[in-house]
Homo-oligomer: A and B are copies of this chain.
Amino acid sequence: MHVSDAPVGSRELTTERRKPAAAAAARSFPLRYAGRTVIALGAHPDDIELGVGGSIAALSAAGTRVVMAICSVPADYETRVAEAGAAAAILGAELRVLMPGGCRRIEDIKTYQLVGLLDEMVRDLRPAAILTHGPTDFHRDHVAVFNACLSTQRLQPFDFYSYLPTMCRPVPVPFQPRAYIDISGTIDRKMAAIAAHHSQFYSRGITYEMYRDFARINGRMVGVEYAEGLDISRIIFS
């Protein structure tokens, strides 16, 4: 299974630590967006926390304005908005509900209206990045949000990332990250933000420890304790 027979010394594992702080900063995800706005977008409450809770906590800690935008709340409006608000507070982000005021379904509006809601938010916030669902998700609403986001790109270039398929009950679908973000320092806040969705997990006897396993495996891929893995549709460098 090994690729080379030559023994690989411990040098590989320790060199990274000796990098000067400046160089390390240059590859920081939070610093890339410091002083700017990032939109974390999800179809429903708890999607964002499951997908990118650790990255959001890191971004807001570094001075990025993060808007957690939920498209719709399909049931238990008051409870779920309150839970989402608590989770956003834990992560240091603002909460928005794009279809507010009561229980709504994404399918209640047309695709072009959903694009319109995103357009409005993009014109308002001028985001440097949007983090949302990906095209291989098993949930049609999640795919619809990704597709609407594709269209919104015509207004303005922004970094466009997708997070893994989110689910409280597991449904296997393919997902392969391209961007790895170290969340070793914020994994606990991520888990706490998920836990804030008490009505979805604790009160139904559903565990979410699987998301810690995902983060540990992603971390192992890049030599840190915990990482979130994102797919990339577009990233823009000057």
Chain B residues within an 8 Å CB radius of A22: 34-35
Cβ proximity bits A94-107 to B, threshold 8 Å, 1 near / 0 not: 00000000000101
Interface size on A, residues (CB 8 A): 100
- Alpha-carbon gap, A2 to B74, bound state (A): 9
Closest residue to A181 on the B side, CB-wise? B237
Report yes or no: B28 in contact with A34, Cβ–Cβ below 8 A.
Answer: no
Q: Is A168 an interface residue (CB 8 A)?
A: yes
A23 contacts B12, C-beta separation under 8 Å: no
In the complex, the answer to whether A222 meets B200 with C-beta atoms within 8 Å is no
Scan A180-221; emit 1 where CB is below 8 A from any B CB, else 0.
111000000000000000001000110000100110110011
Q: Which of A27, A174, A204 is the most central at the interface, judged by chain B CB atoms within 10 Å of its CB?
A: A27
Would you list which residues of chain A between 111 and 159 have a CB under 8 Å from chain B? 111-112, 115-116, 119, 123, 126, 128, 138-142, 147-148, 150-151, 153-157
Find out whether the CB atom of A23 lies under 8 angstroms from the CB atom of B27.
no
Q: With A8-B169, A28-B237, A44-B2 known to touch, is A107 a contact of B115 (CB < 8 Å)?
A: no
Residues on A close to B: CB < 8 A? 1-8, 10-12, 15-16, 19-20, 22-24, 26-29, 31-36, 42-47, 50, 74-76, 105, 107, 110-112, 115-116, 119, 123, 126, 128, 138-142, 147-148, 150-151, 153-157, 166-174, 176-182, 200, 204-205, 210, 213-214, 216-217, 220-224, 229, 232-238
Given contacts A12-B155, A32-B237, 14 further A-B contacts (CB under 8 A): A4-B112, A5-B75, A5-B76, A19-B36, A23-B35, A26-B31, A111-B141, A112-B141, A153-B171, A157-B180, A157-B221, A172-B176, A182-B238, A213-B217
**24 A-B residue contacts at CB 8 Å?**
A1-B43, A3-B112, A3-B151, A4-B112, A4-B115, A11-B123, A15-B126, A26-B33, A27-B237, A105-B110, A111-B141, A112-B141, A138-B150, A138-B153, A154-B167, A172-B177, A172-B229, A173-B176, A174-B176, A179-B237, A180-B235, A214-B217, A232-B232, A232-B235
